[in-house]
Structure 1
């Protein structure tokens, strides 16, 4: 950890809804905390600042990594996770999100939500009096981005000045990565087919932050242009959960956007490959790249646990 990030920041009671809500030094503080919590866990040190606390975990969208990492994470921090599927609670069916947030705040010490509409996350946070963590929405995936930047720092030893090529759908993951790059001083080049660009509002916000903090945000069509001299090459599935009906049409649109050995010749020789998973080998990424020596996808997946523990420990 650099000296500039040794400071103790008080983030108690804060929500974690989007990368945009946190200052660069706060994001870097959480990354450093994640690395420290990972060290403690690997060394077998017991660290339980959330002893006796309970996290409510609302899942309107199912998940492997989010469910397991949050449940294990709160347990390792001394607390307990309560899994709530959309069938377990009345939210949005028989009860407003605001009322649900008010009631759950009386029982819980924190709430994590994984949902479709980002407005549900905002509404929950407005009504709650305990910290709310965005485990994923259609607009933003900040827990993923935090874990990703932790992984890049571990592998590359620095963040500022690196180039990330993001190839594929300009989705929630792309939005959070763009904002993270903007605030942490990286150059991110996003290559998407026409009609699949990141949300223009998200792009403008990221560019405004990049101008302020020394990052750079490029949107282009050509995957080779994005991959040129990249330190990190990143992709995601072409059709996310809830977009299955568009699978065929997306396969046509994204033809030529596969991350494969030919494309990787444009990246730096020591590039690392990242994917937020689940991955479809042979579709958005070739088997050779996904399972090759440059791939760090499972280190990245592991860091969801450590990054989310850092968020919970800091806010709860």
Structure 2
């Protein structure tokens, strides 16, 4: 049900002006102390005005929370737009400013260099202004409820981006916000990263569809986003991880049930990488898991991406990593610096993919 607000008016003789308006007060005839004011009959009438419910107001606007919220055609259109706008920016042309006069709040309960700089720079280059809100600026869910944060920021901004720990936080922001919400990362998934990865694959391999992507390491939020992309676009996805560190079983099942891509979960990285177009790695202990780092280094022995593993993958394989990388742990320095490594074009494409996402959710 919508909230009802009211506007009230007074009627004094032949006048019909807003009650307590500055004009009425400024120009009313002063009364002397010796003579009482005339008894005028004042009538106040109120007009009810229906306001939109915050849960139904997001008409025609779309959040970007999970990749599989969109169909294949929409994903590919966003990637095409990313290529188009990237080329424009690379040319030095700064005339395309679709976000002129618009603002975005960026909520960070997890710090990040790439996420902050890529979103803030991209939004600025396209004419907008981004506001950084760190962990101590809001203390979302602690100092102030997430639903209240969503509703307040919606009244200031045209867009909200959030990088948080709990996936429920991004769901609650999207539920209560009346402006589009973009998932900058949660413990469950990282959709903007995978869009940047897909863009990088198109640039270097020529396609995502029909390719073979082999992820080596922990079955984390990056893996979940690859699985959700595989629910929409057909390709061969393999996750090679130690036993006990497999990705979420429901997400794996969802990708398999979609019947679009070939999905494999294995504990043998050497077999997994054979014939790969992309060998992909990430840190073994993500933010919030650092106390497990020493234990994980023992468990993950044999899952390091080194030159031997890349040689097994074959000469056509590229190496990708979402960064930051712990060189000498999940990947060797030699691999990061090799000619087949495309980790830095991949990092740059965070901005270009996110620009396309922002353009899409704002209907530009």
TM-score by length of 1: 0.94
Map 1:38-49; keep pairs closer than 5 Å.
38-46=86-94, 47-49=96-98
**In structure 1, distance between residues paired with 2:85 and 2:201:** 17
**CA offsets 1:190-231 (integer angstroms, 9 cap, x no match):** 00001110011111112122x0xx321110000012101001
Maintained 8 Å contact 2:68/2:231: no
Deviation beyond 6 Å, 4+ runs, structure 1: none
Match among 219, 225, 239 for residue 285 of structure 2: 239
Who is 1:110 aligned against?
Answer: 159
**In structure 2, distance between residues paired with 1:50 and 1:298:** 27
Map 1:204-283; keep pairs closer than 5 Å.
204-209=253-258, 211=259, 214-283=260-329
**In structure 2, distance between residues paired with 1:107 and 1:158:** 39
Who is 1:3 aligned against?
Answer: none
**In structure 1, distance between residues paired with 2:216 and 2:227:** 12
Give the SS at the match of 1:83.
Answer: strand
Who is 2:229 aligned against?
Answer: 180
**In structure 2, distance between residues paired with 1:55 and 1:174:** 28
**CA offsets 1:280-301 (integer angstroms, 9 cap, x no match):** 1111011111110100000000
**In structure 2, distance between residues paired with 1:194 and 1:62:** 30
Who is 1:155 aligned against?
Answer: 204
Maintained 8 Å contact 1:161/1:187: yes
**In structure 1, distance between residues paired with 2:139 and 2:284:** 32
Radius of gyration: which is bigger? 2
Who is 2:39 aligned against?
Answer: none
Higher relative contact order (CA closer than 8 Å, sequence separation 6+): 1
Who is 1:300 aligned against?
Answer: 346
Who is 1:87 aligned against?
Answer: 136
Higher helix proportion (structure 1 or 2): 1
Maintained 8 Å contact 1:12/1:315: no
Task: Structure 1: state its 5+ residue gaps.
Answer: 1-10
Give the SS at the match of 2:136.
Answer: coil
Task: Structure 2: state its 5+ residue gaps.
Answer: 1-58
**In structure 2, distance between residues paired with 1:96 and 1:197:** 33
